[in-house]
C-alpha cells in the first residue's frame, strides 16, 4: 500500500504510516510532545522527560488488558473444570455403588449353585437356557459397570490434575495482572506530576494547537473522499445489533476514561467498544489489537454506524463509528467518553463485528448530551505516555514497539492532535491533564 504523505515537520520529526488504508490521502500528525515544544517551549522538556523516561513501557496497557483477558479465560477454565470434576465424581460414586452391589451379588451367588450347574440339574431345558441367557446378560452388565468405573476413576484423576493446573495458572495470571497495573500506575503518576507543573497558558496553547490539527485533518479526510460520497455515507444505517451497540456507547458519553476499565462507571477505549457490542449480544475481543486482528475488515468508504475504527500503526486505539464522519471514543486518562471527528487520530482501518447482517431500513441515531464533543480527542499511539489505554494495549500477544526517547519520539508512531471538527475545543473545554482516573 502507499505511504502517508509526511506530516508537517516539527523539529526533526516526520511522521509516516507504513500501512495506510487510505493510500496516502490522510495526513499523520505531530505528536503531543512536539506540540508542546512549539506551543509551550518552557514546559516541553519536562513533559518529554515524563513521557520518555517516566512513561510506561509502550506495551504496558495492552499487556495489562491482555493479562486481564487471559485471567478471565483461566478463571472460566477453572470453573468449567471444577464443574466437570464434580459431575465426574458424582458419576464415579454411582458406579462404585453399582460395583458394590455386584460384589454382594457375586458373594451371595457363591453360596448357591452356579447358573451352569442349574442348567445340568434342571429338568426343564428351556427354562435352563433362559436362565443362561439371563446370566450372560447380567455378566455383561456387570462388566460394563466395572469398565465404566475404571474410566470414571481415570477421568476424575485427569480432571483433578487439570483443575489444579488451571487454578495455578489463574493465580499466576492474577499476580501478573497486579504487577502490570502497579507498574503502569507508578509511571502514570510520574507523568501526571510533570503535567501538573504546566501552567494554564501552556496547556491552553497545546489545546489550541490540537484543535487546529484535528480540524485540518478532518477537513482533509472528508475532502479526499476516503469515506465515500456524502450522500451515500448519510444513507448508511447500522444493523439491529449495531444500533444497540451505538445506543449503549452514546449512553456512556461523559463517563471518565480509566486504564483497563470496561464499565459501568469508567472505560478505556477497547473496554467501551467491547462492552457496547457485548450489550448488543455480540462478544468481540477485549483489546484493540485483537479486535483489529480477528474481526472482518471493512473499507473506510463502506463504513456504517456501529463499525469499529482502529488507529495507529499497531492498532493501539479504537473507537465506535456513529456516522457523519464521527466516532464515540474513550480517548485517554484525564478525558471522558466523547464524540470526536474520525480523523482526530491517525487511521489504520476499520472492522465490522456484524459482517453479514442486514442493515436496518431506517435508523434514528441515539440522543447525545449537549457537550458530547467537548474535551480532548487525542488517543495514544504505541509511543505515547502510559496514559494511552490502548496506546500500549496488550494481549499477552504482541506488538512491542520501541520505547520513545525523551527528546525525540519515533517517527513511525505519531500521536495526533485533538478537538472535534464540528466544535473546535476551547481551552476550557479540554479535559484536565492532571487527573488519570
Distances (CA, A) of 343 to 26, 42, 147, 416: 8, 29, 66, 9
In a domain, 163, yes or no: yes
**Placement of cell 479465560 in the chain:** 73
Question: Are the C-beta atoms of 306 and 242 separated by less than 8 Å?
Answer: yes
* Amino acid 65: pLDDT: 66
Q: Phi, psi at residue 309, to the nearest 5°? A: -100, 125
Query: Could you tell me the mean pLDDT of each successive run of 10 residues in the chain, 437 residues long?
Result: 32 32 38 39 36 39 66 74 74 72 63 54 63 69 73 77 78 78 78 78 79 80 77 80 96 91 92 96 93 95 94 92 93 88 91 94 90 74 39 35 32 35 34 35
Please tell me the pTM assigned to this model: 0.51
Range of the domain at 155: 74-177
Count: domains in the chain = 1
The 8 Å CB, 24+ separation contacts for 167-170 are 167/78, 169/74, 169/77, 169/78, 170/71, 170/74, 170/75, 170/77, 170/78
> What pLDDT does 105 receive?
66
The pLDDT value recorded for residue 196 is 78
Residue 216 lies in a domain: no
- Whether residue 328 is contained in a domain is answered as no
Is 172 a domain residue?
Answer: yes
Which residues share a beta bridge with 319?
Answer: 309
Q: Report which of 68, 267, 316 is spatially closest to residue 276, judged by C-alpha positions.
A: 267
pLDDT of amino acid 37: 37
Contacts of 145 (CB under 8 A, 6+ apart): 95, 98, 99, 102
The residue assigned the cell 463509528 is 321
For residue 83, being part of any structural domain is answered with yes
Amino acid at each position: 500500500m502507499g505511504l502517508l504523505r509526511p506530516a508537517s515537520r516539527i523539529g526533526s520529526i516526520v511522521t509516516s504510516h507504513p500501512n495506510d488504508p487510505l493510500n496516502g490521502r490522510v495526513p499523520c500528525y505531530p505528536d503531543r510532545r512536539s506540540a508542546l515544544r512549539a506551543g509551550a517551549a518552557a514546559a516541553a522538556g519536562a513533559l518529554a522527560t515524563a513521557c520518555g523516561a517516566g512513561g510506561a513501557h509502550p506495551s504496558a496497557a495492552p499487556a495489562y488488558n491482555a493479562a486481564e483477558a487471559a485471567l478471565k479465560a483461566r478463571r472460566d477454565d477453572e470453573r468449567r473444570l471444577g464443574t466437570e470434576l464434580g459431575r465426574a465424581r458424582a458419576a464415579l460414586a454411582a458406579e462404585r455403588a453399582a460395583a458394590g452391589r455386584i460384589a454382594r451379588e457375586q458373594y451371595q451367588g457363591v453360596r448357591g449353585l452356579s447358573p451352569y450347574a442349574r442348567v445340568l440339574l434342571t429338568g426343564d431345558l428351556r427354562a435352563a437356557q433362559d436362565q443362561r441367557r439371563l446370566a450372560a446378560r447380567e455378566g455383561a452388565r456387570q462388566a460394563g459397570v466395572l469398565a465404566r468405573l475404571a474410566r470414571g476413576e481415570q477421568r476424575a484423576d485427569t480432571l483433578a490434575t487439570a483443575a489444579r493446573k488451571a487454578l495455578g495458572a489463574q493465580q499466576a495470571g492474577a499476580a501478573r495482572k497486579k504487577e502490570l497495573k502497579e507498574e503502569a500506575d507508578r509511571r502514570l503518576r510520574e507523568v501526571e506530576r510533570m503535567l501538573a507543573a504546566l501552567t494554564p497558558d501552556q496547556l491552553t496553547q497545546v489545546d489550541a494547537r490540537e484543535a487546529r490539527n484535528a480540524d485540518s485533518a478532518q477537513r482533509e479526510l472528508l475532502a479526499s473522499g476516503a469515506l465515500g460520497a456524502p450522500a451515500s455515507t448519510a444513507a448508511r444505517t447500522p444493523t439491529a445489533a449495531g444500533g444497540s451497540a451505538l445506543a449503549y456507547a452514546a449512553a456512556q458519553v461523559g463517563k471518565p476514561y480509566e486504564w483497563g476499565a470496561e464499565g459501568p462507571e469508567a472505560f478505556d477505549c477497547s473496554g467501551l467498544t467491547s462492552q457496547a457490542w457485548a450489550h448488543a449480544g455480540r462478544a468481540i475481543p477485549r483489546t484493540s489489537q485483537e479486535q483489529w486482528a480477528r474481526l472482518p475488515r471493512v473499507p473506510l468508504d463502506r463504513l456504517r454506524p456501529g463499525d469499529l475504527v482502529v488507529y495507529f500503526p499497531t492498532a493501539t486505539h479504537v473507537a465506535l463509528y456513529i456516522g457523519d464522519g464521527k466516532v464515540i471514543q474513550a480517548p485517554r486518562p484525564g478525558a471522558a467518553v466523547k464524540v470526536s471527528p474520525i480523523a482526530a487520530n491517525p487511521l489504520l482501518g476499520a472492522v465490522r463485528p456484524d459482517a453479514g447482517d442486514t442493515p436496518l431500513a431506517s435508523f434514528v441515531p441515539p440522543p447525545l448530551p449537549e457537550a458530547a464533543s467537548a474535551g480532548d480527542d487525542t488517543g495514544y499511539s504505541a509511543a505515547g505516555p502510559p496514559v494511552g489505554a490502548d496506546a500500549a494495549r496488550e494481549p499477552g500477544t504482541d506488538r512491542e514497539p520501541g520505547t520513545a526517547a525523551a527528546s525525540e519520539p519515533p517517527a513511525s508512531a505519531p500521536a495526533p492532535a485533538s478537538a472535534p471538527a464540528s466544535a473546535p475545543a476551547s481551552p476550557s473545554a479540554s479535559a484536565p491533564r492532571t487527573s488519570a482516573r
